[in-house]
Amino acid sequence: MTVESSPEFSASLAQGAPPPPVAPELSEPPLAGGAVPVLGHGWKLVRDPLAFMSQLRDHGDVVRLKLGPKTVYAVTTPALTGALALSPDYKIDGPLWESLEGLLGKEGVATANGPRHRRQRRTIQPAFRLDAIPGYGPIMEEEAHALTERWRPGETVDCTSESFRIAVRIAARCLLRGASMDERAERLCAALATVFRGMYRRMVVPLGPLYKLPLPANREFNRALADLHLLVDEIVAERRASGQRPDDLLTALLAAQDENGDPIGEQEIHDQVVAILTPGSETVASTIMWLLQVLAEHPEHAEKVRDEVESVTGGRPVGFDDVRRLRHTNNVVVEAMRLRPAVWILTRRALTDTTLGGYRIPAGADIVYSPYAVQRDARSFADSLGFDPDRWLPERAEEVPKYAMNPFSVGNRKCPSDHFSMAQLTLITAALSSKYRFEQVTGSNDETRVGITLRPDRLLLTPVEW
Ligand code: HEM
């Protein structure tokens, strides 16, 4: 596939048209600079992955990376990231997904491919459709206001645990209609924090057998992973025992059928719940942390959000129905996601010999790209590192190149939860800002911490009443 591929063209391929023949004379993409013997680019990727990914476009639109003995391809332009995500020549695979599968399960939607993936998307999609989101409004409202009540002016807020807590609670309460979520959300947060930390380590330093040794860190990781799976089992068992079938995602999963019309197995139900809860909480929690960091760092924007909420609500508590009128607040959320995308790296694997940007990509090759690098590129955004929510005003947003801002990705793997996430993030930002501004306190560290998602290292804030 080349960059000329339109979504329509991709769709026609998906419907069965044969892929275009690959011209034999196509060349290999250039090797990115800075490789060292044996480790190749690996040491740079481990040392400072964000800086490394961000300078790759200077070496070409598609570049080769050497990670030890392995060659990996990186695409660097917005157009090519779109072409990659929309092309049927690639599937979800590669080191990131292999390590996720091994730990979180092989049968969930986030790691499936082909007909199973299409079937699973059909099962979960109704829960995330635009017209389903207002049904979650009361829970989102309740959680957003409970958070503002829970925080006390002048007291230190540990933003990591608080952001996880509300993200897990909203996902679990809206999508799984789970009862007793207080205690479960705490356990889930603790388990997920340890699991994600350990998973990232296993991904970047794949020392296989070493992670099986009975070391304290490995034991802690295994305990957290076991607790995560146990919690999911509890949620499923509780629903079954209740005999209830509310109109939610869990009911859809329990009633789902496979390609032959048979009920899906227990393992798939389990893996599906894990595959929805884990990305659902980690990504939203990281984004809430960045939003809090932005509100503290840019009091002028916090004030503008407060004023907008006030003008829309006239002083009553902000509600779900106000969200679509909170234009500036929404733009603050989008701009925070541009500069600090929770999902900063994505990978695909070529299913067949194919092309990207006129270069040859062999079957089986791993391809990576970084939404972080693309969304901060000065070639796409004026003052690209500046925090400017007004760049999302309709007249200015038109200038943004296609695919330069896609924090939820595009194509058949696009996040199903874009509307669900934007609604809750905007509502939480509005509810918090209408009551407080924020200040970082001693001991807080808002440096970017790179893991499976990006988040501030240890954000500690104190809410101050307006
Ligand atoms: C997939 C981002 C919230 C569930 C994805 C992908 C991205 C993404 C970029 C595509 C991965 C790829 O192309 O390889 C985000 C961001 C979020 C967010 C930035 C919030 C700020 C959520 C939430 C849920 C969720 C709240 C569920 C409750 C999923 C699932 C997939 C996915 C199940 C896999 C889809 C598939 O492979 O078909 N997300 N996500 N995400 N996301 Fe999200």
DSSP character at residue 30:
P
Strand 366-369 and strand 70-75: pairing? Answer: parallel
By most ligand atoms within 8 Å of CB, the mutation choice from 170, 294, 415 for ligand 1 is 415
Amino acid at 449: R
Residue 278, ligand 1, Cβ within 6 A: no
By the 10 Å C-beta count (0-12 exposed, 13-18 middle, 19+ buried), 43 is classed as middle
Residue 90, ligand 1, Cβ within 6 A: no
DSSP character at residue 28:
P
Looking at ligand 1, which atom is closest to the CA of residue 342? 19
**Count of beta carbons in the 10 Å neighbourhood of residue 84:** 28
The ipTM of this complex is: 0.99
Query: Picking from 62-71, 433-442, 457-466, which range would have the lowest pLDDT averaged per residue?
Result: 62-71
On the question of pLDDT at 325 being above 90, the answer is yes
On the question of pLDDT at 11 being above 60, the answer is no
Query: What's the 281 CA to ligand 1 centre distance in angstroms?
Result: 10
Ligand 1, atom 38, lies closest to the CA of: 413
Q: Which residue has the higher pLDDT, 137 or 246?
A: 137
Question: Is residue 417 one of the residues assigned to a domain?
Answer: no
| pLDDT at residue 19, rounded to an integer | 58
Q: Phi and psi (nearest 5°) for 71?
A: -100, 130
Over residues 165-192, the pLDDT tens digits come to 899 889 988 988 766 666 777 788 788 8
| pLDDT at residue 194, rounded to an integer | 86
Query: Picking from 5-14, 27-36, 38-47, 388-397, which range would have the lowest pLDDT averaged per residue?
Result: 5-14
| pLDDT at residue 178, rounded to an integer | 65
And the tokens for 296?
A: 């503290």
Over residues 328-380, the pLDDT tens digits come to 999 999 999 999 999 999 999 999 999 999 999 999 999 999 999 999 999 99
Looking at ligand 1, which atom is closest to the CA of residue 348? 14
| pLDDT at residue 22, rounded to an integer | 52
Query: What's the 279 CA to ligand 1 centre distance in angstroms?
Result: 6
pLDDT band at 96 (very low <50, low <70, confident <90, very high): low
Question: Is residue 331 one of the residues assigned to a domain?
Answer: no
| pLDDT at residue 413, rounded to an integer | 94
| pLDDT at residue 162, rounded to an integer | 92
Looking at ligand 1, which atom is closest to the CA of residue 425? 21
Residue 167, ligand 1, Cβ within 6 A: no
Residue 343, ligand 1, Cβ within 6 A: yes
Question: Is residue 128 one of the residues assigned to a domain?
Answer: no
Query: What's the 24 CA to ligand 1 centre distance in angstroms?
Result: 37
Query: What's the 319 CA to ligand 1 centre distance in angstroms?
Result: 25
Query: What's the 175 CA to ligand 1 centre distance in angstroms?
Result: 14
By the 10 Å C-beta count (0-12 exposed, 13-18 middle, 19+ buried), 63 is classed as buried
Query: What's the 407 CA to ligand 1 centre distance in angstroms?
Result: 9
Over residues 278-306, the pLDDT tens digits come to 888 889 999 999 999 999 999 999 999 99
Q: How far is CA 131 from CA 75, 125, 135, in A?
A: 35, 11, 8
What is the distance of C-alpha 424 from the center of its chain? 15
| pLDDT at residue 14, rounded to an integer | 41
Looking at ligand 1, which atom is closest to the CA of residue 287? 21
- Helices 299-313/327-339 angle, 10° precision: 150
Cα–Cα distance measured from residue 221 to residue 227, given in angstroms and rounded to the nearest whole number: 10
Q: Which residues contact 10 (CB under 8 A, 6 or more apart)?
A: 1, 86, 87, 88, 411
| pLDDT at residue 173, rounded to an integer | 87
pLDDT band at 8 (very low <50, low <70, confident <90, very high): very low
Cα–Cα distance measured from residue 139 to residue 145, given in angstroms and rounded to the nearest whole number: 10
Question: Is residue 360 one of the residues assigned to a domain?
Answer: yes
pLDDT band at 24 (very low <50, low <70, confident <90, very high): low
Residue 120, ligand 1, Cβ within 6 A: no
| pLDDT at residue 331, rounded to an integer | 98
From the annotation, which residues make up the binding site for heme? Answer: 415
Strand 436-440 and strand 460-465: pairing? Answer: antiparallel
Query: Picking from 227-231, 276-280, 349-353, 431-435, which range would have the lowest pLDDT averaged per residue?
Result: 276-280
74 strand-pairing partners: 63, 368
CATH assignment at residue 369: 1.10.630.10
Looking at residues 257-263, what average pLDDT do you find? 88
| pLDDT at residue 20, rounded to an integer | 55
Cα–Cα distance measured from residue 259 to residue 1, given in angstroms and rounded to the nearest whole number: 29
Residue percentage of the chain with pLDDT more than 90: 67
| pLDDT at residue 304, rounded to an integer | 97
Cβ–Cβ < 8 Å for 57, 76: yes
Question: Is residue 26 one of the residues assigned to a domain?
Answer: yes
On the question of pLDDT at 4 being above 60, the answer is no
On the question of pLDDT at 420 being above 50, the answer is yes
Looking at ligand 1, which atom is closest to the CA of residue 346? 14
SS3 state at 65: strand
Residue 451, ligand 1, Cβ within 6 A: no
On the question of pLDDT at 159 being above 70, the answer is yes
Query: What's the 283 CA to ligand 1 centre distance in angstroms?
Result: 8
Over residues 36-94, the pLDDT tens digits come to 877 788 778 888 999 999 999 999 999 999 887 889 999 999 999 999 999 999 998 87
On the question of pLDDT at 199 being above 90, the answer is no
Most confident of 91-95, 157-161, 195-199: 157-161
Question: Is residue 330 one of the residues assigned to a domain?
Answer: no
On the question of pLDDT at 13 being above 80, the answer is no
Query: What's the 466 CA to ligand 1 centre distance in angstroms?
Result: 35
Question: Is residue 266 one of the residues assigned to a domain?
Answer: no
Query: What's the 408 CA to ligand 1 centre distance in angstroms?
Result: 6
Parent domain of 381: 1-106+344-406
Question: Is residue 238 one of the residues assigned to a domain?
Answer: no
Ligand 1, atom 21, lies closest to the CA of: 284
From the annotation, which residues make up the binding site? Answer: 415
Residue 426, ligand 1, Cβ within 6 A: no
Cα–Cα distance measured from residue 158 to residue 284, given in angstroms and rounded to the nearest whole number: 16
Residue 420, ligand 1, Cβ within 6 A: yes
Ligand 1, atom 15, lies closest to the CA of: 408
Q: How many structural domains comprise the chain?
A: 1
**Is pTM beyond 0.95 here?**
no
